[in-house]
Amino acid sequence: MISGDVQGVFFRISTQDKARELELTGWVKNIFNNAVEILAEGDREKLSLFTGWLQLGPPNATIDKISIEWEESSVKEFSSFEINR
């Protein structure tokens, strides 16, 4: 969960691009004013790089708060990284 100035600044498309670059799967979506929810799965090292990128966000985004929860899973639920509406 990420809040701040993260809607209307290409945050979701930039997040999708970064996740795909890191070969992660999952989704990103706006959830309410000034917040975005992300679910990502993949290699732990690549997920760590992704969460590091999320703490800064793309240009023009302002991250006020980020909440990260890690879970172990042996099941690959997603086949790509998508933007949910």
Pair 30, 16: CB distance under 8 Å = no
DSSP helix/strand/coil, 80 = coil
Catalytic residue among 12, 33, 34, 85: 12
The whole-angstrom separation of Cα 30 and Cα 85 is 7
Residue 47 predicted with pLDDT over 80:
yes
Domains for the chain: give ranges and CATH numbers. Answer: 2-83 (3.30.70.100)
In this prediction, residue 7 carries a pLDDT of 81
Band (pLDDT 50/70/90 cuts) for residue 64 is very high
The pLDDT score that the predictor gives to residue 73 is 82
- Global pTM reads 0.91
pLDDT in tens, 10-30: 999 999 999 999 999 999 999
Residue 44 known to be catalytic: no
Could you confirm whether 34 is annotated as catalytic? no
pLDDT of residue 9: 63
